[in-house]
Structure 1
Amino acid sequence: MSQLSERELWLAVAQIPGIGPRTFYQLLDTFGSMRELWTASTTDIRWMPVKIGKRPLEALLKLRQEFDLEATLSAFQRVGLEVVTLLDDHYPTNLKTIFDPPPVLYYRGDLRATDELAVGIVGARRATPYGREIAMKFARDLACSGITVVSGLARGVDSAAHRGALAGKGRTLAVLGCGLNVTYPPENARLYDQVAAQGAVITEFPLDTAPEARNFPRRNRIISGLSRAVVVVEAAVSSGSLITADFALEQGREVFAVPGPLTSRMSQGTNNLIRQGARLVRKVEDIIEELGITVESTVANGPVLPELTAKEKTVYACFPEGTGSVHIDELVRHSRLTAQDVTAILMMLELKGLVRQLPGKMFFRLPLS
C-alpha cells in the first residue's frame, strides 16, 4: 500500500460511504496529505479532530488494509468508467472554483476544455408540455451556439434539455445522484448512452451508489458548479431545481428563469425567482448577451431535426408541409400504424418540439428552429 500515489490514495478514500467532500478536505487539512492519513497509526486516526461516524471510521481503517487498486480499476474498466481528481489538469475548470468541489469525479464519455462555456438547464420532473418544449428549444439553440448544456438526466425538463442539445449536435453533460452503473430513471437508459457518446455522464458517487434523496442536493451543486449560468425552466415552489438556483447564486453564477402562466403550479417557483431578482429569459440570445459570450452564430446552420425512430419518422412524414393541421385518424390511415402506436408517437413528437396538439384530436407540425 505504501507504493500508492497520492492520486491513487484520493481515489481510495473517495470510495468510503459517509466521507463526502467536506469530510475529505477536513482529513486532508488535518493530516496534510492522504499518504499521511494512510500511514498514520490507528490511535491517531481514532483520536483525530475530524468528526466522522463510526461506520466511515471503521471502513477507513479496514480499507487501509484491504484496498486493491487493480481490482478497483478493473471494475471501472468493465463499465467504461473514467476518473478525474482535483489533482488532475483536466478536472473541469468551472467546478474547481466552488466551495467544496468533488475530490473525485467518475464519468463516461469525455471532458473537454470547451465545456468551460456551459449553461445549466434545470426544472420540474413533472414538466408541462410548455416546459419541455422551452427546455428542448433553449438547449438546442445553446448547442448550436457551441455552448455545452448541463443538466441532471431526470424526468421532465432535464431529459428535454439533454435531447435538445443532442438534436443541436452539441455537447451535453449529465450529472447523476447515483453511481455510474445505476441508470436512474430507468427509462432514460438510451438517453444516458446518447449523452455519454456526445458529451459525458458524471457523478461524484462511487459505483453501486443508489439514487437516494439525500444525494440530489449534492448532485445539484455540481450542475451549477459546472455552469457559467443556470436556467430554471419550470419549478413548483418546493422544486429541487430551486436548490440548484440557490447553489448557483452561492457560487457566483447567473440565474435565469423562464416566466410561465400565473395559473400554472409548475411556474410558481420560476415566477418567484424573477420577482426575487433572477434574470427573466425569453430566448437564448438573452443568456448569451448577459454572459458576454461571443459565439460564431446563435442560429443553427439550417433547421435541425431531432433524432427520430423509424416509426416516428413515418408519422412525422404524414404531416402536410407548413403548419396545416391534421386529424389523428388521418395520421393512422396514412402511416398504416395502429391508433395506439400513433398516439404514443405523437406524444414523443410533441415532447421533441415537433408537433402540437389542438382541440378535437387535431395536430399540426411546428416549424423547425
Structure 2
Amino acid sequence: MAVTAWGARDGLVALHQIQGVGWHTIDALLRAGWDPARPLEASGHALERVQWRRKEVPGSIRKKWTAPFVRKVQEELARRTIQTLTVWDDDYPDRLRELPQPPWVLYLKGDPSLLTHPCLAVVGTRKPTSYGKQATAKLAAETASRGWTIVSGLAAGIDGEAHRAVLQRGGRTAAVLGCGVDVVYPKHHRSLYEQLVAEGVVLSEAPPGVAPRPGLFPQRNRIISGLSHGVLVVEAAERSGSLITADCGMEQGREVFAVPGPITSSQSMGSNRLIQQGAKCVLTSVDILEEFPHIPELPREDIREEEPEELSEEESQVFRFFEEGPLSLEELTTCAGIPLGDLHRLLLALQVKKRLRQLPGARFERV
C-alpha cells in the first residue's frame, strides 16, 4: 500500500497555486481520479483523462506538483501568516459550500471565525455622495451591532465606508479581494487593509501575489454574496459593478436590499431600479433583520459608540448648511454671510469634533 506523502488539503492548496490551474481544472482532475494526498504517479492516468483547453497546463503540473513544492507552499504561507480554508475543511463557510462552484481554496489574513456569524454584504458605487456615505455608515454599524459580520470588497467608495464604519465601532467586518490576499488594492486603502487584518478578516480565492485584474472581480463578487444572507446596495449607477453582486445574490437565492436615492442622482439610478425590480427598500436596519426570522435574534452588542461633542451656536449654524450635501468654501461664504476668518475657525472646529471632513478642492461634507 502506498504511503501518503502529504495531506489532501496541502496537496490541493499547492496545486491551486500553479499558474493555469483554476476551478475547472481541479474539478476535472478530481473527476478523473486524481488523489491530492499522494504523488502524481499514484493517480494513474488522471492527467491523460482530462480534456485540456491549454496544452501547457498538464506539463506544468507534472513539473511543479511534487513533494518539495507542496512543502514549500506550506512553509511560505506560514511565514507570511496566510491561513487557508479548503472546501473539505469543517470550518469552511457553509453558505459558500452551497454554491454551484464553491472556491476550492480560500486564503485569509485575520480572524476567520468572523465568517461563522450571520453575514450581510454591503456594496455600492466607488463615487458615493455624502448621503450615500452617511446611509452606509448608519446601516452597516446598526447591523453589526446585532452581531452580524459586514462583508464588502475593500473598493473605494461604499465598500470602504462600510468597513470603516464597523471598525470604528469595534464590530465585525470581512473584506473579499479581487487579487491576492497579500496585495493591497486600491493602494490608498493600505491603512484600512492593515486594520482589517488586525481587527477583522481579509480573504481571497486568488493565490497570494496575484495582481488585480478585471476577470477576478466577478469571481470576487460571487463570494461576497455567497458568504452572506443578504446583499444591501446603497448607491449604484445603472452600469455599476455592485449590480453584478446583487445579481449573484439573486442567483444564489439571497435576499437583495437597496437604499432609495434621489431620482436626479446618477449614483442612485441602479439602486432605485433594483427596488423597482423587487429588491426590498431599506430605511433602517430593522428592514433588513426582519427578513431573517429563522436566524436567532442576537443581543445588541456593546460596540463602541462615539459620543459627539456638543456644538456651539455658531458651529450649529454652519453645520446646518451641509444638510443637502457637500459645499465649497466659496459656496459656504456666499450662503453663510460669515467673515472668512471666522468661517475658517468654525470649519476647523467642526472637523476636530468629527462633524465635517474636508474633500479635495476646498470642499467640505458631513461625516
70-79 or 264-273: which moved more? Answer: 70-79
Question: Offset of 1:55 from its aligned partner?
Answer: 3.8
Provide the residue aligned with 1:20 in structure 2: 22
> 1:291 aligns to what SS in structure 2?
coil
> 1:213 aligns to what SS in structure 2?
coil
Given that 2:114 and 2:172 are in contact with CA atoms closer than 8 Å, whether structure 1 keeps it comes out as no
Provide the residue aligned with 1:160 in structure 2: 161
Matches within 5 A, 1:38-187: 38-39=40-41, 45=47, 47-65=48-66, 67-112=68-113, 115-187=116-188
> 2:174 aligns to what SS in structure 1?
strand
Letter in 2 for 1:320: S
> 2:167 aligns to what SS in structure 1?
helix
153-162 or 193-202: which moved more? Answer: 193-202
Given that 1:121 and 1:158 are in contact with CA atoms closer than 8 Å, whether structure 2 keeps it comes out as yes
Provide the C-alpha distance between the structure 2 equivalents of 1:11 and 1:97, rounded to a whole number of angstroms.
20
Question: Offset of 1:145 from its aligned partner?
Answer: 1.1
Provide the C-alpha distance between the structure 1 equivalents of 2:36 and 2:9, rounded to a whole number of angstroms.
9
Quickly say closer, same or farther: Cα 1:201–1:321, change in 2 above 3 A: farther
Question: Offset of 1:226 from its aligned partner?
Answer: 0.7
Question: Offset of 1:221 from its aligned partner?
Answer: 0.5
Provide the residue aligned with 2:317 in structure 1: 325
Given that 1:145 and 1:297 are in contact with CA atoms closer than 8 Å, whether structure 2 keeps it comes out as yes
Letter in 2 for 1:20: G
Given that 1:323 and 1:364 are in contact with CA atoms closer than 8 Å, whether structure 2 keeps it comes out as no
* Sequence identity (%): 39
Q: Deviations over 1:271-317 (max 9, x none)?
A: 1111111111111110000122443455x7597129xxxxxxxxx86
Question: Offset of 1:215 from its aligned partner?
Answer: 0.4
| Residue-pair matches, total | 341
Q: Could you say which structure has the larger radius of gyration?
A: 2
Provide the C-alpha distance between the structure 1 equivalents of 2:197 and 2:253, rounded to a whole number of angstroms.
28
125-134 or 73-82: which moved more? Answer: 73-82
> 2:128 aligns to what SS in structure 1?
coil
Provide the residue aligned with 1:33 in structure 2: 35
Question: Offset of 1:119 from its aligned partner?
Answer: 0.4
Question: Offset of 1:111 from its aligned partner?
Answer: 1.4
> 1:179 aligns to what SS in structure 2?
coil
Quickly say closer, same or farther: Cα 1:110–1:276, change in 2 above 3 A: same
Q: Deviations over 1:80-137 (max 9, x none)?
A: 2111111111111221111111111110111127634110001111122211211111
Given that 2:141 and 2:169 are in contact with CA atoms closer than 8 Å, whether structure 1 keeps it comes out as yes
Provide the C-alpha distance between the structure 1 equivalents of 2:353 and 2:58, rounded to a whole number of angstroms.
49
Question: Offset of 1:234 from its aligned partner?
Answer: 1.0
Q: Deviations over 1:4-58 (max 9, x none)?
A: 221111111111233222332222122253347823679652x323433234333
Provide the residue aligned with 1:8 in structure 2: 10
Quickly say closer, same or farther: Cα 1:36–1:249, change in 2 above 3 A: farther
Q: Deviations over 1:60-92 (max 9, x none)?
A: 222224752332223223322111111111111
Given that 1:90 and 1:113 are in contact with CA atoms closer than 8 Å, whether structure 2 keeps it comes out as no
> 1:68 aligns to what SS in structure 2?
helix
Q: Deviations over 1:122-158 (max 9, x none)?
A: 1111122211211111111111111110000000000
> 1:166 aligns to what SS in structure 2?
helix
Given that 1:323 and 1:365 are in contact with CA atoms closer than 8 Å, whether structure 2 keeps it comes out as no
Provide the residue aligned with 2:273 in structure 1: 272
Given that 1:27 and 1:50 are in contact with CA atoms closer than 8 Å, whether structure 2 keeps it comes out as no
Provide the C-alpha distance between the structure 1 equivalents of 2:352 and 2:54, rounded to a whole number of angstroms.
48
Question: Offset of 1:166 from its aligned partner?
Answer: 1.0
Letter in 2 for 1:115: T
Provide the residue aligned with 2:229 in structure 1: 228
Given that 2:150 and 2:172 are in contact with CA atoms closer than 8 Å, whether structure 1 keeps it comes out as yes
TM-score by length of 2: 0.82
Give the unaligned 5+ runs of structure 1.
307-315
Given that 2:10 and 2:74 are in contact with CA atoms closer than 8 Å, whether structure 1 keeps it comes out as no
Matches within 5 A, 1:350-365: 354-355=355-356
Provide the C-alpha distance between the structure 1 equivalents of 2:19 and 2:353, rounded to a whole number of angstroms.
39
Quickly say closer, same or farther: Cα 1:362–1:78, change in 2 above 3 A: closer
Provide the residue aligned with 1:200 in structure 2: 201
TM-score by length of 1: 0.82
Quickly say closer, same or farther: Cα 1:286–1:318, change in 2 above 3 A: closer
Letter in 1 for 2:131: Y
Quickly say closer, same or farther: Cα 1:9–1:324, change in 2 above 3 A: same
Provide the C-alpha distance between the structure 2 equivalents of 1:362 and 1:190, rounded to a whole number of angstroms.
23
Q: Deviations over 1:154-179 (max 9, x none)?
A: 00000001011112321101000111
> 1:7 aligns to what SS in structure 2?
helix
